[in-house]
Amino acid sequence: MAKILKSLQSDGGFSVAESTIIDPQRNVIDVNTLKVLNNSNDKTFKKEYIAHSELNNTSPSVVMFPGHVVEADRIVFLNGFFLGTWEGYPIVEWTANANSPILSGTLSNHGFTTGDNITIELTNPAYSAGNGSYPVTVTGLSTFTVELPAALDQNNPILNETYEITSLGSNWEYAIKIESAILSDSNNILTAAATSNTVVKDNVPLGHVWSIAPDVNNTTKELSFATAVSTNGSLELRGTGIKWSGKIEIVYTQRGY
């Protein structure tokens, strides 16, 4: 039996499950993904979507979700604007000799100068008497000391403890623009052909290294972005971890013509 096809028409917009998708002014709103097709070439389209990931103590490296599946013999041009945020204070690893008020701290590329004042909060409540503001004495690119009014333990050395530097603030952001081209060959093997990064804001806490880069999974044949962090302390003392969000635009087409 023949089917009669009719175009979708609506004077008041269009909704799904009582949520407006297209309003009466023809604005497309509240959609997870927007895909624009090329009528003259069904293998070419443009797609925009939002992806997320969250890094924590258990998962310091995560691929953003969702990804995008790529077929064989395709080329995908990617443009993305990404923002990573974290709530917490830079964390210093420290030790102290028995009956010594001097805390020897380690914090990669701290950038301090001898005489700088920092306010510290010791992670272990047993040593909270040491909380306060102190000048630092620099001993290396990643090492320095602070001297407390009194020793925290008169009889034993203190090893592998941490404190937070609360005077440096607790809100951190990293923003970056990424452009990339992903190739798929005749065997559907995905490779990143070229990538360009433009850092828009670099406000990463001391002791952290944040990274994000295009990622291809040749098991699932998906492309996405891999996020990762390395740090000498917990990501969850104050918040739940580093949250990444990205606005991604894909132009997807056949390889060659």
Q: Tell me: the pLDDT tens digits for 112-127?
A: 999 999 999 999 999 9
Place 36 in a pLDDT band, splitting at 50, 70 and 90.
low
Place 232 in a pLDDT band, splitting at 50, 70 and 90.
confident
**What is the chain's mean pLDDT, rounded?**
90
Would you state the pLDDT for residue 142?
96
The secondary structure of 114-134 as a DSSP string is TT-EEEEEESSGGGGGG-EEE
Taking alpha carbons only, the member of 216, 184, 179 closest to residue 43 is 184
What domains are defined for the chain? 32-87+171-254 (2.60.40), 91-168 (2.40.30.20)
Pairing verdict, β 45-55 and 33-37: antiparallel
Would you state the pLDDT for residue 127?
97
- Over 80: is that where the pLDDT of 189 sits? yes
The model's pTM:
0.81
In contact, 109 and 141? CB cutoff 8 Å: yes
Place 255 in a pLDDT band, splitting at 50, 70 and 90.
confident
Q: In angstroms, rounded to a whole number, what is the distance separating the alpha carbons of residues 251 and 148?
A: 59
Q: Tell me: the pLDDT tens digits for 70-118?
A: 999 999 999 999 999 999 999 999 999 999 999 999 999 999 999 999 9
Which region among 15-19, 175-179, 187-191 has the lowest average model confidence (pLDDT)?
15-19
Place 32 in a pLDDT band, splitting at 50, 70 and 90.
low
Would you state the pLDDT for residue 29?
59
More confident residue, 159 or 25: 159
